Structure 1
């Protein structure tokens, strides 16, 4: 992991532009809540991916090849973890029967919370690394344990955790069975109740914290630049809402995806341990002296991450084909899915018009 130098004007300008893009995306959700078609979702995902690649190109030109390589490797790592995060969002939406017309807004709240939590953990991680080099041992061990859990835990574990959360909350606070738009509280026969939206947001917020705990050590294993860490996370989360509507139904069918992510986490965990040994200052390891071990460079990391994700996705898609499913339909959804989306969009538009006329 090399020390990169990025001009202050580029950092400030990038943060201003990214903030403007995120605010525009948020305003679009607020003013035009609807269920995007596969085509619309695909165009938005392509836009955000292109934006990330343009940013990577600027990093190469302005800050050098090392900075550009670290951003690309970090972005791909965070993007793979965000796709895994997306599966949990799909699970939460399905389990709590969130109306499709509300899902855009709920997802946007989830993405904002994810950015907030990751920003906090980035600051904490940067402070720890700056003052305690041995923290790389902890980060490395944590990622190795996380990789094992990722590879060997089933989807049923996520469902079981969510069920326990529902039971815990319902025993302690009055919660209705029906939603009341985006309200978290409603009144029935004069009595105040919480709506299921409260549980959904708690579940999504908890998920964001868990994935932030996984993702921040992972990307600090690629770069020690807080700016690269933060921008890689922002670009990984941008477009996640549209990716949900494009591939949400496919994510749980990519059977080998979790193994690809587990391999990446394990690889970065090993890289962190090697880096910790190389920078070692702990007196009980080699007398406090640096351990002469090989270090894994950024470009090797980038190649490993690309290959791991490509193999996982290709094997998953081949499995879909072996099962006799029509691959394009599996990827973009059936005509019925698109028709359902259009109907939901019309319903959402009608709801918004009614609310506007009634002055709500």
Structure 2
């Protein structure tokens, strides 16, 4: 079934309307979404995406419906992987949690704009040059290989700097500040307009989105060449991304096998594209420019491979003791840094919540098996941060005796005995009987 101009216009109006609704009713006023709010709206957007798939199935046929669902699930999975990078970027720019929604919203809009452009460009190329399928297939195979390539020491540090070429150019030609002014993009400093870090982090997120689009668009073209299905699958996968970020934040580190699952999916789609390219071949130096009669992967098989692969890696990740250990270690370090950086989260209630999480994570850190404690890098630095966090908390209570109802809400919670833990790093048996201090 051919998609009419009216259907295109109505679809785009609906998507723009959903984005506008999200901005004016959720993002415009800075706040930290609760788990309930994030779960509710994530469920709503997923339901809308599923219902739209039913519409496609009924109006355009089973094949189109299956293509839409396969594309939507693939794009949503790639978007979740992108959240890891967003988390690193916003952490490196120390974006207050209440303002992170606006940054994410900007990233989603920029991503949708660029991906829409890439979709129509890709459609034009495919319609004009059959050899583009070979190019898309090779891009996906290379991306899959990069996902499973072992990380080198310092890779995380390089990513966390979030200081790409665009940022350097912005800082060179614009007067910038080192502090936020609410969620404003510009502020006045000594009578001069200056760019705040809020605009810089948006530039970083936007630049990253463009790079992500170069991988995700070939992936979905490997599942369908219908531009309407490609566009709607991409759009609906992005719409609920902001709510999903706050819903699974803290669990992202648990998905330690996600990149391997995505590598399998991208490699599978890459092979599917190359097989399709051979079937439609007109490249002179391959089979004399004649089509090669090869087996083609069906859309139903593609959907099955994508769903089974994702379910397998999610279950394996959540059941993995190593994944749980990595989550504990990274969350402990992250909460300690956030608690100590008053400029990052100045709200006492947020900082106290971070401290509560820090205390709970210390106990989980303590309970890690010896083989998983080897996953802790820069142990002494982490222990020093924990000591400083406890000392800072004690000073705050001494300086504000009326805070929290006049007492320490964590007074009955045991803290990690960092001195004993330091000893344990040299002699694990020394930790027995000295794990906690009151």
Which of the five TM-score ranges fits, normalised by the shorter chain?
Answer: 0.7 to 0.9
> 41, 46, 50: which is aligned to 1:44?
41
Structure 1 partner of 2:73: 76
Rounded to whole Å, the distance in 2 between the matches of 1:51 and 1:295 is 31
**TM-score between both structures, scaled by the size of structure 1:** 0.85
Is the contact made by 1:185 and 1:194 (CA closer than 8 Å) also made in structure 2? yes
**Is 1:61 the equivalent of 2:62?**
no
Is the contact made by 1:122 and 1:230 (CA closer than 8 Å) also made in structure 2? yes
**Is 1:128 the equivalent of 2:125?**
yes
Q: Which has the higher contact order (CA 8 A, sep 6+)?
A: 1
Rounded to whole Å, the distance in 2 between the matches of 1:190 and 1:71 is 53
Rounded to whole Å, the distance in 1 between the matches of 2:45 and 2:348 is 23
Rounded to whole Å, the distance in 1 between the matches of 2:127 and 2:134 is 14
For the residue of structure 2 that corresponds to 1:252, the secondary structure is: helix
Closer, same or farther in 2 for the Cα pair 1:319/1:181, shift >3 Å? same
Is the contact made by 1:91 and 1:159 (CA closer than 8 Å) also made in structure 2? no
For the residue of structure 2 that corresponds to 1:295, the secondary structure is: coil
> 155, 158, 164: which is aligned to 1:157?
155
Is the contact made by 2:253 and 2:326 (CA closer than 8 Å) also made in structure 1? no
Rounded to whole Å, the distance in 2 between the matches of 1:86 and 1:40 is 19
Closer, same or farther in 2 for the Cα pair 1:158/1:292, shift >3 Å? farther
For the residue of structure 1 that corresponds to 2:84, the secondary structure is: helix
For the residue of structure 2 that corresponds to 1:249, the secondary structure is: coil
Q: Over alpha carbons, which structure has the higher Rg?
A: 2
For the residue of structure 2 that corresponds to 1:46, the secondary structure is: helix
For the residue of structure 1 that corresponds to 2:163, the secondary structure is: helix
For the residue of structure 1 that corresponds to 2:18, the secondary structure is: helix
How many pairs were matched up? 333
Rounded to whole Å, the distance in 1 between the matches of 2:294 and 2:347 is 55
Closer, same or farther in 2 for the Cα pair 1:164/1:180, shift >3 Å? closer
**Is 1:99 the equivalent of 2:96?**
yes
Deviates more, 1:222-231 or 1:152-161: 152-161
Deviates more, 1:259-268 or 1:150-159: 150-159
The C-alpha deviation readout for 1:255-284, integer Å capped at 9, x for no partner, is 001111111111111101110011000110
Structure 2 partner of 1:190: 191
Q: Identify unmatched segments of 5+ residues in structure 1.
A: 345-360
For the residue of structure 1 that corresponds to 2:249, the secondary structure is: helix
Q: Identify unmatched segments of 5+ residues in structure 2.
A: 340-345, 351-438
**TM-score between both structures, scaled by the size of structure 2:** 0.70
**Is 1:251 the equivalent of 2:248?**
no
Rounded to whole Å, the distance in 2 between the matches of 1:293 and 1:342 is 64
Structure 1 partner of 2:291: 290
> 95, 106, 109: which is aligned to 1:109?
106
